[in-house]
Amino acid sequence: MTISELQVKDIVAIEDGRKLGYITDLEIDVDRGYIVALVIALKGKMFGLFGNEEEMVIPWNHIVTIGADVILVRTETPKLTHSMNANEYDAQ
């Protein structure tokens, strides 16, 4: 499976079935060669176009299953990173 195939799958919380968003980035352990976590732009805030962008980091061990169209994840302890507004995004 390629990264681009992962990016088009809906990320869904297994606890309540809500769609979280889509993968925008991966945290990778380059020394060991594996994915550590998925970084998700929360639904409705994608790419900073609609106000502040919030990201959720889902550790790889919180992935329950990767299906044809969705990735089911446990979200009881996700790490929410800081919000960025569009101006901060442009400055990067």
Domains within the chain, CATH numbers bracketed? 3-91 (2.30.30.240)
**pTM exceeding 0.85:** no
Tell me the backbone φ, ψ of residue 77, rounded to 5 degrees: -140, 50
8 A C-beta contact, residue 53 and residue 44:
no
Q: Residue 77's pLDDT is what? A: 58
pLDDT tens track for 25-83? 999 999 999 999 999 987 554 444 555 568 889 999 999 999 999 999 998 754 555 55
In degrees rounded to 5, what are phi and psi of residue 6? -70, -40
Let me know: does 27 contact 37? Beta carbons within 8 Å.
yes
